[in-house]
């Protein structure tokens, strides 16, 4: 299972990549494999304010729709428009071209609540969902 070393993770299988006062957010390899055939992505509006743990986007596979949660609180500053026409980018490469949105975080301390790559790997291994 690919778990890049330079990212932070959530228990609900999102990844966050820090870039200054922002994070880029997507879903992990594990989540992508569980969803399998992604056919639609509902992205948030730019400027939307969210709290950590709130649903911010939706990924739909053939079978069902899944909420994607905000890793930390903040304001959406960019979204991956490519997913609107090509949702399967999430299946193709969930860590790069399949990124979902960028969040300007409002409280840096919240980043400390996210999982390290090792902690996320441990969670996957223990099978805790």
Residues of this chain that interact with other proteins (CB under 8 A) are 36-37, 39-40, 42, 58, 60-65
Write down how long the chain is.
129
Q: Least distance to other proteins from the beta carbon of 101, Å? A: 17
Q: Shortest gap between Cβ of 11 and other proteins (angstroms)?
A: 22
Complex with other proteins: residue 72 or 89, whichever CB lies closer: 89
Our CB check for other proteins shows the closer of 40 and 122 to be 40
Q: Three-class SS of residue 3?
A: coil
**Could you tell me which residues are beta bridge partners of residue 37?**
none
CA 54 to chain centre: 12
| d(C-alpha 118, C-alpha 63), whole Å | 31
Min CB(109)–other proteins separation in Å: 31
Given the complex with other proteins, which of 36 and 51 has the nearer CB atom?
36
Nearest distance, CB of residue 13 and other proteins, angstroms = 16
Q: Concatenate the DSSP letters of all residues of 55-104 into one string.
A: EEEEEEESS-EEEEE-SSSEEEEEE-THHHH-TTHHHH-TTTTT--EEEE
Nearer to other proteins, 7 or 50 (CB): 50
């Amino acid at each position: 299972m690919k778990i890049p070393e330079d990212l932070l993770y959530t228990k609900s299988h999102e990844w966050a990549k820090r870039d200054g006062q922002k994070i880029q957010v997507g879903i992990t390899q594990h989540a992508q494999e569980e969803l399998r055939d992604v056919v639609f992505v509902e992205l948030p509006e730019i400027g939307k304010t969210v709290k950590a743990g709130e649903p911010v986007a939706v990924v739909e596979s053939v079978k069902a729709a899944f909420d994607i949660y905000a890793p930390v609180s903040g304001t959406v500053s960019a979204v991956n428009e490519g997913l609107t026409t090509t949702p399967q980018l999430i299946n193709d490469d969930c860590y790069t071209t399949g990124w979902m949105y960028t969040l300007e975080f409002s409280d840096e301390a919240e980043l400390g609540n996210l999982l390290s790559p090792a902690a996320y790997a441990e969670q996957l291994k223990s099978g805790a969902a």
